[in-house]
Amino acid sequence: MSVPNIDAVKAYLLSLQDSICDALAEADAKQVFVEDAWERPSGGGGRTRVISEGGIFEKGGVNFSHVFGESMPASATAHRPELAGRSFQAMGVSLVMHPRNPYIPTSHANVRFFIAEKEGEDPVWWFGGGFDLTPYYGNDEDCRHWHQTAKNACEPFGEDIFPRYKQWCDDYFHIKHRDEPRGVGGLFFDDLNELGFEKSFALMQSIGNAYLDAYLPIVERRKAAPFGEREREFQAYRRGRYVEFNLVYDRGTLFGLQSGGRTESILMSLPPDVKWGYDWHPEPGTPEAELYTRYLTPRNWLEV
């Protein structure tokens, strides 16, 4: 298996953060991303970029981090006990965009690289990442475009990649205690190393580069949709599900907190305004009910 080029991965991730921030700020047209560079006392650091109260984005963050240390956090060794006693490096770009208009979905993307080393033994490394879409009001056209772009990113690497990563996404972004998906899915992958370093790196880059192609056309189509207090109330309620998943299940959040990462950067994914209603259910036949009956049901959107 080819030797990982850590410097090349880091250079790509920094460039990806730049390109995504530039494109999203241009789409917003009101605000820009504010950068907060930080250092991790026990090793590493990053640069967090946040946009707030924009023309389109109520809150969004695009975070680059590169952390390292001499021992693994519990969230990692619980699933991979062979990593115990190894030093590690973890780097990635993670983003979440929360638009103000409820007809524009929230989007999330992440690409990352991990390596654990021990003198006298081969390094253990892998890539991970993906992107997923969380609408408040569903739209078939948006879902088809999102999944078609995801498929296009995967196709050069094998016909089995897209269906596997789509299913992995459906399984991963499932809120178990609610027994419902977080959104309409996309791609998710982890532990990718079987293709060798160069091809695995190329696949990770293809998925990272596809995010803007997947999301910006949806933003442009929905940004002028009229909305009122009813839609904002429902958006705040559904954002609560986003918070529940990120704080209870998300591996990246748990790894960051347990490894002594920067809390503000780790929790940048949380939306600005959220509501929880007790045992609330939408009225049958409403657009809010349609989200549950049509969109929060895993399906092959390329055949709809």
Distance CA 57, CA 135 (A): 14
**Annotated binding-site residue? 92:** no
Mean pLDDT of 268-292: 93
Helices (H), 80-160: 140-154
pLDDT top residue among 260 and 131: 131
94 assigned binding-site residue = yes
Please tell me the pTM assigned to this model. Answer: 0.93
| CA distances (Å), origin 248, targets 96, 175, 241 | 17, 9, 11
Query: Where do the DSSP E strands lie in 53-148?
Result: 57-69, 87-99, 106-117, 124-134
Tell me how crowded residue 1 is: count the other CB atoms within 10 A of its CB: 12
User: What mean pLDDT do residues 130-137 have?
Assistant: 98
Annotation-wise, does 111 bind a ligand? yes
- Under the banding of pLDDT at 50, 70 and 90, the label for residue 263 is confident
Q: Provide the pLDDT confidence category of residue 1 given band limits of 50, 70 and 90.
A: low
Residue 260, marked binder: yes
pLDDT value, residue 269: 83
Maximum mean pLDDT: which of 63-67, 81-85, 148-152, 265-269: 148-152
Does 8 score more than 60 pLDDT?
yes
**174 annotated active-site:** no
Does the annotation flag 261 for ligand binding?
yes
pLDDT of residue 27: 98
Task: Point out the catalytic residue in the list 66, 108, 145, 281.
Answer: 108
> Does residue 242 have a pLDDT over 60?
yes
The CA distance from 43 to 66, in Å, is 9
Which pLDDT score is estimated for 256?
A: 78
Instruction: Identify the band that residue 254 occupies on the pLDDT scale cut at 50, 70 and 90.
Output: confident
